[in-house]
Structures are given as C-alpha cells and as structure tokens.
Structure 1
Amino acid sequence: MTLLDKDGVRLAVDGAVATVTLTNPAKRNVQSPALWRALTEAGRMVPGDARVVVLRAEGRSFSAGLDRQAFAPEGIDGELNFADLARASDQEVDETIAAFQEAFTWWRRPDLVSIAAVQGHAVGAGFQLALATDVRVCADDVQFAMRETSLGLVPDLTGTHPLVQILGYARALEVCVTGRFVHAAEAERTGLANLVVPAQDLDGAVSDLAAALLAAPRNAVVETKALLAGAVTRTYEEQLAAERAAQTRRLRDLAGIGD
C-alpha cells in the first residue's frame, strides 16, 4: 500500500515492513529541501505497527547528494536560495538546518530497525542519508564520498556522529577532508557496510535481512536496540545495570507479570 508519493519520495507499507524509495533516477536522486520535507513527512506516516523500514533508491545511484542548483544564483525553483540563507540571522539559519535534519533523524526511531539498500554513488547528503539508518546493505558498485568540506562547507545532515562511531575520529576526518571515494571492499572492512553483495542481489539480500529481523519478538528487539544504542554513552557499570533492568522487563513480560 502506497501512503506517499511526492517530490522524489515514495512510502509504501507491506505488513510490518515500510519501504521508502528515492524516485528520481534521471537526476541520480539528488537531494533538495523539497525531498527532505517529503522524507520527514514519510517518517511521520510510518505506521506504529511497522517494525522494519527499508530505504532504497531507483536507478544506478543511491543519491548523488545535494542538487547543485541550490548553489546557483537563482537557486532551486521555489526554494530559499542558499546565498539568501547565508545572509539570514544565526537563529534563522539554525532553524532552517534543523528542519532539514529532521529528514535524517527519524530512521533510528527506538521501535524500528532501518536498513539502507545502497548502490552506486552515495555522495554528500546521500552518504549522510545512508548513515542515518541502523544498517547498510551495499551493492558491490557502491561509492561513498563526503564532499561537503571540499565545497567549503561541513557535513551538517547528521552524518558526522555515526561516521565517527563507525570509523573512529582519524579515519572519519580523513574521509571528510579529502572527499575521496570509499568503495565496497573498504566499506565492508570498516563497517560502513554490514554486507556487500552483487548489485543484482541487493534487493534480495535486503528482503532476507528484513525477514531475519522480524523473526525475533518485537519487544526484545526494541530493548536490545536501546541497550546497544546507549552503550556508547554509558560507563561499563552503567551498561551492566541497563542490561539487568532490560532483562528484568523481558522476564516479567514473558511470564505475563505486569509492573
């Protein structure tokens, strides 16, 4: 069932799996404020009983990044020109970027597991969108690159935090500042890709992973995700306490004992 189809974004739901598809292959799924608004809207429309969200893209490239028209004097038709944004107040710029970031934050919702199916180029905003998900399954032709710094900007669409978590500070800095491509073998070796498969097998691999994720009881998945997500900010002893508390809830739930 299709719930949304606008501005290069389609949301469809099949049982417990919601699929968000980037639908502008002719322009390599370039991104714009309109697309970000549509992604934000899609996130708000994902049903509460969905358990897995798949992010995929039509065509040969996952996303070639920001539409370069945004930097042209005339900007993107109907959108705020980036030069005009630069002349706005600090608060206005902050609020505008915060609104853009909403398209990238909901993928790690506590009750969902999100999977990005990434093929071809995932550049700049495209790289950050893939990083926004919990898990990435990549085709063997994938090419990640963070080009913002090369353009005189910084990655500001939520990508810096997961990139440092995955690669560590030194490698994340090198990848961002050089703007170089990270290909499939390196992506898999460094953890940017959970799995790399031949391009023709990408959809099947994602479907198999989604099925495996759905095999475990929902509440156990939610508790496990919360434990792992919080581990990076807790001390060792705090993590042990969190494990005990989560297991207590699970045991009581399985035994049918309420709070």
Structure 2
Amino acid sequence: MSLLDRDGVRVTVRDAVASVTLTRPDKRNAQTPAMWRALAAAGRLLPGDVRVVVLRGEGVSFSAGLDRRAFTPEGIDGELSFLELARAGDAEIDAAIAGFQEAFTWWRRNDLLTVAAVQGHAIGAGFQLALACDLRICADDARFAMRETSLGLVPDLGGTRPLVALVGYGRALEICATGRSVHAEEAERIGLANLVVPVADLAAATDDLAAALLAAPRDALIETKALLRDAAGHDYDEQRARERAAQARRLRDLAGLGE
C-alpha cells in the first residue's frame, strides 16, 4: 500500500512494516524543507497497525545532507532562503526550525521501532536523520559526518542528544567539532551502527532485522522501548520503580486483567 510519494519521500506499507524512502538519488538525497514536511507527514499518516519503520535512501547515498541551494540568495524554488530567514525575528526563526525538526522527532515514538538502512554518505542532516531512528544497520561503505560546524552552524535537527547517548560526550564533540568522516567499521565499534554488512546484503539484512523486531508481542516492546529510551533521565531507584510498574502492567495484561 502506498501512503505518500512527493517531495523526495515515498512511503509504502506492507503488513506491519512501513518503508520510508528518500527518492532524490540524483542529488544524493540532499534534503529540502519540502522533504522535511513530507517526512513529518509520513509520521502522521502511518496506520496504527504499523510496528516497524525502515528508512532508506535510493541510489548510492543515504543522504548527503542539506541541499546547499538553501544557503544561496536564490534559495530553493518556493522556499524561504536561509539567508532571508536569518533576517527574521527570534520567534520566527525558532518556529521555522521547530517545523524542520518535526521530520526528525516521530521516529522515536514508543509504539514504533525504527531502523535506518544506511549506505554511502550520511552527512549533516542525513546523519541526524539516521540518528533519529532507534537502530542503524549500515553497508560497509557508509560514511557519517556532522559538517555543520564547518559551515558556521550547529546540528539543530535533533541529532545532538542521540549522538551523545550513543558515543559519549567527548567522542560526540570530537566528531562534530572536526567534521570528520566516521566509516562503517568505526561506527559499529563506537556504537553508532548496530550492524555492518556488505553493500549487496544491506536490503536483505534490513528485512531480516525488521522480521526479528516483529517477533515479540507489541505491547512488551512498547514498554521496553519506553524504559530504555528514558533510562538516562532517572536514577537507579527511580528506574527500578519504572520497571516494576511496567511489569505489573504486562502481568495484568497477560492474565487478561488489563484495563
């Protein structure tokens, strides 16, 4: 079933798995505000029975980052140039960036398990889109880089928190401050990638992972994801209390005593 196909984003659903595909291979899936609006819409359009979402990029690159036309005086047709946005007031700039961020937030919903299948370049906004997902499976040619600082900018699409959570503050700072590439082997070693496979095996390995994620009962995975995602914000005793409450809900549900 096709849900959406516009502005460089295609969404299809088969059984309980949704596939979100970036479809600007001739531009290495460079991102635009229109693409971000389409990605935000994708999250709103997903049927309630979708359990796993797989994010892919067509062509040789996952996403080479932001379409650089956004920084030119001419901008992107039909879009506000970032140079024009810079002249706006604080509230307008804040609202615009908040709108951009919507494309990157819904992937971490507790009712979904999201997987980025990364090949080739995942740069800047592409890196942050991969970080928006719960899991990352990478081809052995994958290259991550956060180039915003080299442009005089900061990563502002929700990528800083998951990056620090995955690799730690010191390594996250080094990756962002230098803008260097993190190759697939290093990405797996430092925790950015859950699995690295040959390019030719990426699609099959991603399908296998999606199938494995569907094996457990949905409500158990929702509770588990919520526990893990928010664990860093609670001390040990608080987290144990959250575990007890979640397990009580699961026991009652399994016994047919749920609300």
Q: TM-score range with shorter-chain normalisation?
A: over 0.9
Which residue matches 1:104?
104
Q: Deviation at 1:258?
A: 2.8
Which residue matches 2:89?
89
Looking at structure 1, the residues matched to 68 and 92 of structure 2 have their Cα atoms a distance apart, in angstroms, of 22
Which residue matches 2:125?
125
Deviation sequence 1:36-75 (CA, Å, 0-9, x none): 0000011110111100000001000000000011111111
Instruction: Please state whether the residue corresponding to 1:232 is helix, strand or coil.
Output: helix
Looking at structure 1, the residues matched to 132 and 230 of structure 2 have their Cα atoms a distance apart, in angstroms, of 16
Alpha carbons 2:249, 2:258 under 8 Å: kept: no
Which residue matches 1:196?
196
Alpha carbons 2:32, 2:67 under 8 Å: kept: yes
Which residue matches 1:74?
74
Q: How do residues 50-61 of structure 1 correspond to structure 2 at under 5 angstroms?
A: 50-61=50-61
Which residue matches 1:251?
251
Q: How many residues align?
A: 259
Q: Which amino acid aligns with 2:60?
A: R
Q: Which amino acid aligns with 2:187?
A: A
Aligned Cα root-mean-square deviation (Å): 0.6
Looking at structure 1, the residues matched to 230 and 61 of structure 2 have their Cα atoms a distance apart, in angstroms, of 33
Which residue matches 2:141?
141
Which residue matches 1:42?
42
Looking at structure 1, the residues matched to 51 and 229 of structure 2 have their Cα atoms a distance apart, in angstroms, of 17
Deviation sequence 1:135-169 (CA, Å, 0-9, x none): 00000000000000000000000000000111111
Q: Which amino acid aligns with 1:133?
A: C
TM-score between the two structures when normalised by the length of structure 1:
0.99
Deviation sequence 1:75-107 (CA, Å, 0-9, x none): 111100111100000000000000000000000
Q: Deviation at 1:174?
A: 0.6
Which residue matches 2:214?
214
Deviation sequence 1:218-252 (CA, Å, 0-9, x none): 00000100111111101000010011111111111
Instruction: Please state whether the residue corresponding to 1:224 is helix, strand or coil.
Output: helix
Which residue matches 1:151?
151
Deviation sequence 1:152-199 (CA, Å, 0-9, x none): 000000000000111111110010010000001100001100000000
Looking at structure 1, the residues matched to 118 and 139 of structure 2 have their Cα atoms a distance apart, in angstroms, of 6
TM-score between the two structures when normalised by the length of structure 2:
0.99
Looking at structure 1, the residues matched to 212 and 147 of structure 2 have their Cα atoms a distance apart, in angstroms, of 34
Looking at structure 2, the residues matched to 244 and 69 of structure 1 have their Cα atoms a distance apart, in angstroms, of 52
Structure 1: gaps spanning 5 or more residues: none
Which residue matches 1:227?
227
Q: Which amino acid aligns with 1:125?
A: A
Q: How do residues 17-28 of structure 1 correspond to structure 2 at under 5 angstroms?
A: 17-28=17-28
Looking at structure 2, the residues matched to 137 and 129 of structure 1 have their Cα atoms a distance apart, in angstroms, of 13
Structure 2: gaps spanning 5 or more residues: none
